[in-house]
Amino acid sequence: MVGKAILMVCDGLGDRQIKGKTPLQRARRPNMNALASKGITGLMHTIGQGITPGSDTAHLALFSYDPYTLYQGRGVYEALGAGLELEEGDIAFRCNFATVDYRMIVTDRRAGRISGVGPELAKELNGQKVDSTEIVFKATTEHRGVLVLRGEGLSRNVSDVDPHEAGMAVLKSKPLDGTMEAKRTSFILNRFTALSNEVLREHPINIEREKKEKPPANIVLARGAGAYSRLDTLQEKFGIKSACVAGGALYKGVARAVGMEVIDVKGATGTADTDLMAKASAAKSALSDCDFVFIHVKATDNFSHDGDVNGKIKMIEKIDKMVGYLMKTGAYIVLTGDHSTPCALKNHSADPLPIVIYGEGVRVDSVRKFDEIACMAGGLGHIRGLDVMPLILSYTGKSKIFGS
């Protein structure tokens, strides 16, 4: 395993002190502390000092892609994560099947969390054309889906139709700049939204649901426009073969955007019931063929958004067992998060993340615990998300000398 590395990202891992201690400090985490004791630690500002990262921009930075110049909008990563093949200039959105009444007021943003029927409903929309623009629509999990507008003269600078709140009317998408492309794209998106309602409200599945007094999935609400543009892959940039083990579509999507192979793991759900050991095992297998494996665990963030401190602590303790398993692979282990999500805020924050790098030759510092406070004294000091890949490449002998 010499020259190989695992980057393990626990979503929303960082937190703030609650009665003197952060959730990470409260968790029983013998393996994480062993990493800290035998590794080099520090604090990582994923984007920069005082900047609150989104999950998409955070992962781009961690993979060495400057989000200030290369971020394409969330829809792109959701569409890639859903397995769609995108073409240069595609405009992608994430979507919900939702329920609207006759006045176009959203009564349920998730159409009663429909399950199993999305793909059947999607058939009615996928492949349609609006004003010569091709509609690619794919249902994903439960009420979720992705929409791609494909054709000439489109722009990502359009506002959402999703009002983000029940009880509100469906919004008209508006151009966010003065270009013809933005005007046209918002026009097409509004036409698509109306079309989805026309087609879906009469669909037998929905007639059936209404009979059973379940909210019908009678509209598609899009949000988070992104414009696809191909990025240089990690292979092209650094000559490394890389793989992704993740449950959530967004993370798989960012991984695909940078050219990682996405490994499907049975039981990897992106929620608290995810099969962590299956993911760890899949990562270990991937190492035989890859130089670099990215593992993403989502549930720490879910608990944080719910303000569930104990849930977050228990999840960290589960992850700790996974860390113990991964330490035995012999690969370099880099453990960190993508952003802090303090339970007290129930939202992302700009607080930096603890980070540890463990493996042959790292300078062992005096830090013996893996948490937000102990790692303040770490030998890495304060680094940025964009520093993580160069560090991994240099430790694994995959980077070239600059100069001679």
| Spatial CA neighbour of 193 closest among 171, 176, 174 | 171
Binding residue for a second copy, selected from 30, 50, 127, 267, defined by CB under 8 A:
50
Find the part of the chain contacting a second copy (CB under 8 A) among 55-63, 110-118, 139-147, 318-326. Answer: 55-63
Which segments of 49-136 does DSSP mark as H helices, in order? 55-62, 67-70, 74-81, 118-122
Binding residue for a second copy, selected from 138, 365, 370, 385, defined by CB under 8 A:
365
The count of C-alpha atoms lying within 13 angstroms of the C-alpha of 123, restricted to the half-sphere facing its C-beta, is: 7
**DSSP H or E segment with residue 44:** strand 40-45
Site residues for a second copy, 13-32, by CB under 8 A, read 16-17, 20, 22
Per the CB < 8 A criterion, the answer to whether 246 and 296 are in contact is yes
Site for a second copy contains 362 (CB under 8 A): yes
Query: What residues pair up with 137 in beta bridges, in sequence order?
Result: 147
Find the part of the chain contacting a second copy (CB under 8 A) among 174-182, 211-219, 313-321, 372-380. Answer: 372-380
Binding residue for a second copy, selected from 167, 178, 204, 403, defined by CB under 8 A:
403
Kindly state the smallest distance separating residue 26's Cβ from a second copy, in Å: 14
Binding letters toward a second copy, positions 72-111, x by CB under 8 A: --x-------------------------------------
Site for a second copy contains 187 (CB under 8 A): no
CA-to-CA dists, residue 167 to 99, 286, 360, angstroms: 11, 47, 57
Site for a second copy contains 390 (CB under 8 A): yes
If the CB atoms of residues 50 and 127 are measured against a second copy, the closer one turns out to be: 50
Kindly state the smallest distance separating residue 391's Cβ from a second copy, in Å: 4
If the CB atoms of residues 320 and 338 are measured against a second copy, the closer one turns out to be: 338
Binding residue for a second copy, selected from 27, 43, 139, 217, defined by CB under 8 A:
43
DSSP 121-175: HHTTTTT-EETTEEEEEEE-STTEEEEEEESSS--S-B--S--SSTTSBPPPP-B
Kindly state the smallest distance separating residue 400's Cβ from a second copy, in Å: 7
CA-to-CA dists, residue 245 to 1, 183, 190, 340, 393, angstroms: 18, 39, 36, 21, 19
Residue with tokens 């502390």: 33
Residue with tokens 């802090």: 340
Amino acid of residue 145: G
Site for a second copy contains 248 (CB under 8 A): no
Site residues for a second copy, 291-350, by CB under 8 A, read 342, 344-345, 348-350
If the CB atoms of residues 71 and 325 are measured against a second copy, the closer one turns out to be: 71
If the CB atoms of residues 216 and 352 are measured against a second copy, the closer one turns out to be: 352
Angle at which helices 74-81 and 249-257 cross, to 10°: 100
Residue with tokens 């009615």: 124
How many angstroms separate the first and last alpha carbons of the chain?
A: 28
Site for a second copy contains 37 (CB under 8 A): no
Contacting positions for a second copy (CB under 8 A): 16-17, 20, 22, 43, 47-58, 67, 71, 74, 224, 342, 344-345, 348-351, 361-366, 372-373, 376-379, 381-384, 387, 389-394, 399-404
